[in-house]
Amino acid sequence: MWWLKDVWVIDPSQKLSAPRDVLVQGGQVLEISSSMTEEEVLEKAQGESIDAVNGQGKFLFPGLIDVHTHLREPGQEDKEDILSGSRAAVRGGFTTILAMANTQPVIDNRALVEFVRRQGERAGYAHVLPIGTVTKGMQGAELVEMADMKEGGAAAFSDDGKNIQNGEVMRLALEYAKLTGLLIISHCEDKYLAGEGQMRRGVASARMGLKGIPASAESVIVARDLLLAEETEGKLHLAHISTVESVDLIRRAKKRGVNVTAEVNPHHLIFCDEVLGITDTVLKVNPPLGSRADREALIEGLRDGTLDMIATDHAPHTQAEKARPFAEAPFGIASLETALSAVCLL
């Protein structure tokens, strides 16, 4: 039996955030109390050995859920695999993670959905829920067999890593996903506006001499997808929101009753483009770090409920890839193990 003494317990279901004594037996919470005496604990242990842990300065909370990770398997196991990713998740406090579909090959059929699910079960750490692509081959043209993939264990559908540029395909995706009861997760980026940009367009990109991505590359797709969700009454989730304009669009859509949720990433809450230097490839992410005003709008959006959740967008690469010059390094940051401690600083 474990006796966690004076640990800070956070339990939203009980509206609890306070120091407590906690007894754990056989992997399950036996009791939570404002305080326990040694005699009380001995009585409950009924002869079982007791491991007492000083919980001061520590936190205890229900397992976290991360709705946005890139576990790289199948096809890019040199960066990450489901075993290492799910192990990193539990180290960071996450007990359930959703795995994006932009692997090699992409997860666009039931067999691959079942492969990811089984690999998560074999790993034995966090619960791994596979996300299937919206379109075959992530080509943005032909929809996948959503109902069949749901039966195989798909938790949602997303072409994350790419945006579905064809508005009619996106409209149909929302219609068909609605029939399955699952949602579409949108990577909001107009590829023509984004072009070959390497960071957010602004003073920092000019200082570094790098081609920038305008904030409108995100917000024009956010506006489109919100209108399509309103028209179809489909379930829409907007990934990695990063701009002032996007937050405002989502806030107004929610007031109209649009069925939309949205996430923000830890790095967008903590950093802005001012901190970037030419060697800071670890912070080269997509969408890129925005301005100070963007960061402040994201924090306010999270506080007032416009943004529903924090999701890591955990997207690891090899050290060699991230050691390249900024313009050549890939987008992505590994954050499953650090996300919780990072956002606690806000």
Query: Residues 6 or more apart from 328 whose CB is under 8 A from it?
Result: none
What is the C-alpha separation between 119 and 73, in angstroms, rounded?
Answer: 9
Q: Choosing from 21, 66, 294, 313, which is the catalytic residue? A: 313
Query: Residue 103 in contact with residue 146, Cβ under 8 Å?
Result: no
What is the C-alpha separation between 145 and 142, in angstroms, rounded?
Answer: 10
- 3-state helix, strand, coil split of the chain in percent (to 5) is 40, 20, 40
What is the C-alpha separation between 217 and 19, in angstroms, rounded?
Answer: 45
If phi > 0 it is left, if psi is from -120 to 50 it is alpha, else beta; for residue 234 that is beta
Query: Is 159 assigned a catalytic role?
Result: no
Query: Residue 33 in contact with residue 20, Cβ under 8 Å?
Result: yes
Backbone angles phi, psi at 149, to 5 degrees: -70, -35
Say which amino acid occupies 292. Answer: R
What is the C-alpha separation between 158 and 251, in angstroms, rounded?
Answer: 22
Place of tokens 């004076």: 6
Burial class of residue 78, CB neighbours in 10 A (0-12, 13-18, 19+): exposed
Query: Residues 6 or more apart from 53 whose CB is under 8 A from it?
Result: 2, 3, 4, 5, 7
Residues designated as active site: 313
